[in-house]
Every structure is written in C-alpha cells, then in structure tokens.
Amino acid sequence: MTMMMLPEELIMLVQKNVNDNTSLTNLKMSCAYFNKVITQFSLARELVHDKFSKYECLSTCINADCYEDTVEIYENHYYEYYGRYIHYHQPALNNAKIRICKKDYKVRSPYCVECFVKHVLIGDKTNVRRDFVEDEVIIDY
C-alpha cells in the first residue's frame, strides 16, 4: 500500500509556521491522535461509499456467463418468453434488499439474483431463499 502524503506546499507552510516547542508538541500529539482515530477500515469504508454513491443502474446482469449459470432455473422462461433458446442475461438487481442474520441491508449490484447468490455471497448457500415482492428482491441468507 502506498503512503499518501500531504502536498509539499502544505508541508512547507507547516514547517514555516510551526517553529516553537509548544506548536511542535501540539502538532505531534494531534498527528498521533488522528493516526489512532482514523482507522484503515474507516478509510476503506469512505472509498467504498464513494464508489457506491456513483453507481449507475444496469438493465441486465454483467456476468458474461449469466445464461449458462441460470439456464437450468429459467429454461422455461427463456423458451416461453422468447420462443427459442437464446443467450440472454437476467435483469440486474441494481437496488435490492438482502437479509443476513435477520438484519436488512440495501444492496446495489450489477448481477442478477442467481449470479449474485452464486458469485458474490460467500459461505454455505444451501439455505439461501429468494423472495420476489413487486419490484423488490429479498434474499434471506
């Protein structure tokens, strides 16, 4: 991991204005305090939040193998809806609810429900249940 530094102009400004013992001590104590308070997790959370806040909804699943991964489940749907078997991707979740250990979370995912369960969720997936309610998908995991 690369260390992010302050711009040189700012470092020079601090060096120029912090020239007595009291100011240097306060600066060092402040830096130590911020180093403890600002954890790696909080920085990662902010980076992830920034990425998700710019999420653009997609019409279909981004899994390149979506058809192959879901054809067993949606075989009748593919045939009835399209009249023949064609390579089609299921609709992306975009905004959905997922319930983990009886706690609800809002998920933004470019995967369809089946690809999300198969490729994103980790652990034992034997008890995963999907409920489709109007425009909402609730996944109990």
Q: How many helices (H) and strands (E) does the chain have?
A: 5, 4
Using one digit for the tens of pLDDT, what is the confidence trace for 11-46? 888 888 888 888 888 888 888 888 888 887 787 888
DSSP reduced 3-state for 136 = strand
pLDDT number for residue 86: 54
pLDDT number for residue 82: 52
Q: Residues 102-128: what's their mean pLDDT?
A: 82
Q: Give the whole-angstrom CA distance, residue 8 versus residue 28.
A: 18
Contacts of 112 (CB under 8 A, 6+ apart): 60, 61, 63, 66, 70, 89, 90, 91, 92, 93
The answer to whether residue 135 scores a pLDDT higher than 80 is no
Q: Which two tokens stand for residue 136?
A: 């909402």
pLDDT number for residue 1: 42
Using one digit for the tens of pLDDT, what is the confidence trace for 42-97? 878 887 777 767 778 888 888 888 888 877 776 665 555 555 555 577 788 888 88
Which amino acid, residue 17? N
Q: Residues 89-117: what's their mean pLDDT?
A: 82
pLDDT number for residue 95: 82
Q: Which two tokens stand for residue 21?
A: 């013992």
